[in-house]
Amino acid sequence: MITYYVVICHRGKHKWVRAGTLRDAKLLKKEIEAPDNTRRIEKLGLTGRHKRIDDFFQEYADHVKLRTFGNTVKRYLGVLNTFLAFLKTFHPNLGYLTQIKPEHIESYQKQRLESTELKADADGDKPDNHKNKRLPLPQTVNFEVGIIRSVFMWAHDRELIPAVPTKKVKPLRPKPKKQAKVLTPDQCRQFLKTAREAAKSDKPMRVYYKAFKFLLNTGLRSGELCNLTWDDVDLETGLMEIQPKEGWTPKRNSRQFYLNESSLEVLRSFGERERYIFTDLSGRQLDPSVLRKALIEVAQAPGLNDLTRVHDLRHTFSSHMQMNGVDPGTMAAILGHRSYDVTMIYTHQTQEHLRKSINKIGIG
């Protein structure tokens, strides 16, 4: 039996479409050559030529909002808005989805590393908090391109574009990550003493002192601390739960663990209780970026100039757990890690601990 094909041509692109019998081929050819030309464009996978970039990204944003949690939505929308700002600033002639090519993605990589305009767009609604922040690392841009890749894969699955433009784009070479700063027990005491002394004369510092002490005793991420509410803790049993809130979700799944006495002491020191535990003088929940500024300010006095990230307090907590003999499974449960391998990234032994450990062995 003979199988007939119809050759479709549109703007220099050709495609053979299997029709079947001669009668089927004639019907398909007649349909394709209809005045509106829609079937010809669809068969060639050129539908995206008639899909404007702005309209498509809005459709994808709606798709994300319906299917993901708060933090993920914020991350995705932030990247989408930054990519749209890039196209309007550096490639204003692009209007349709199928016009975006691999070279435009590579251009985004370059401009994202260099453009302060794109940085301001990426900072979104917090320009004042981030105006002095450095331009993104290559690792950050690779993460953003990963999100953009998922957007175009979604478009390709719906036959809006003939190919995914990020497919042949190589990731940027990452810069070495800054080594975590792990405080020794003495440095922890010096750091907290400085914060406590500052809190005596600086009223806003009082909550930051409590926050630092709580972080060193729980290993919470800064976002988890800032979104912690009184409904999350039971002061009688000492049990705390990290769980989703409206507009915020934990980085990993919900988890529960018991607080130590130092953490409970911090919670009992609060007077009137708002919804959020850690709030500024106006009663608003703390902002992670402002918390980091307070950390750097406090760290400078005792000479801890290399302590510049709130996350280093999490590294300190996890390292002290390991050095005190807490097993990896318990550590992973408390820190909210899915595997032991991730937990091991957070364990760093101080030089003093290494010296004492090796001296426990003396053969001969």
**What is the side-by-side strand order in the sheet with 233-234?**
233-234, 239-242, 255-258
Query: For residue 272, how many C-alpha atoms fall within 13 Å in the half-sphere facing its CB?
Result: 6
CB 105 within 8 A of CB 141: no
Torsion of Cα atoms, 217 then 218 then 223 then 227, to 10° = -100
The CA R_g of the chain, rounded to the nearest whole Å, is 28
> What average pLDDT does the segment 86-91 reach?
93
Containing 216, the helix (H) or strand (E) segment is: helix 205-218
CB 210 within 8 A of CB 278: yes
User: What amino acid is encoded at 277 in this protein?
Assistant: I
- Lowest-pLDDT range of 37-41, 248-252, 288-292: 37-41
Structure tokens at 355: 């010296």
| pLDDT for 361 | 45
> What average pLDDT does the segment 95-117 reach?
92
> What average pLDDT does the segment 68-77 reach?
81
> What average pLDDT does the segment 331-337 reach?
80
| pLDDT for 232 | 95
Name the residue with higher pLDDT: 107 or 176. 107
Res 262 pLDDT > 90: yes
Structure tokens at 173: 């070479």
CB 302 within 8 A of CB 194: yes
Q: How far apart are CA 284 and CA 277, in angstroms?
A: 10
Res 170 pLDDT > 80: yes
CB 341 within 8 A of CB 335: no
| pLDDT for 100 | 94
pLDDT digits (tens, 9 = 90+) for 213-256: 999 999 999 999 999 999 999 999 999 999 988 878 887 778 88
Name the residue with higher pLDDT: 314 or 338. 314
Res 364 pLDDT > 50: no
Its sign, for the CA torsion 48, 49, 53, 54, is negative
| pLDDT for 178 | 76
Confidence of residue 291 (pLDDT cuts 50, 70, 90): very high
Please give the model's pTM, rounded to 2 decimal places.
0.66
Least Cα distance to 276 among 199, 221, 224, 216 occurs for 224
Res 42 pLDDT > 70: no
Backbone dihedral region for residue 124 (phi beyond 0: left; psi -120 to 50: alpha; all else: beta) = left
Res 79 pLDDT > 70: yes
- Lowest-pLDDT range of 79-88, 204-213, 242-251: 242-251
> What average pLDDT does the segment 324-344 reach?
73
CB 313 within 8 A of CB 216: yes
Specify the 3-state DSSP secondary structure of 27. Answer: helix
| pLDDT for 122 | 66
> What average pLDDT does the segment 66-91 reach?
88
pLDDT digits (tens, 9 = 90+) for 112-138: 999 887 877 666 655 444 444 578 889
Query: For residue 41, how many C-alpha atoms fall within 13 Å in the half-sphere facing its CB?
Result: 14
Confidence of residue 358 (pLDDT cuts 50, 70, 90): very low
Confidence of residue 322 (pLDDT cuts 50, 70, 90): confident
| pLDDT for 23 | 83
The mean of the pLDDT values for the chain is 83
Backbone angles phi, psi at 158, to 5 degrees: -95, 15
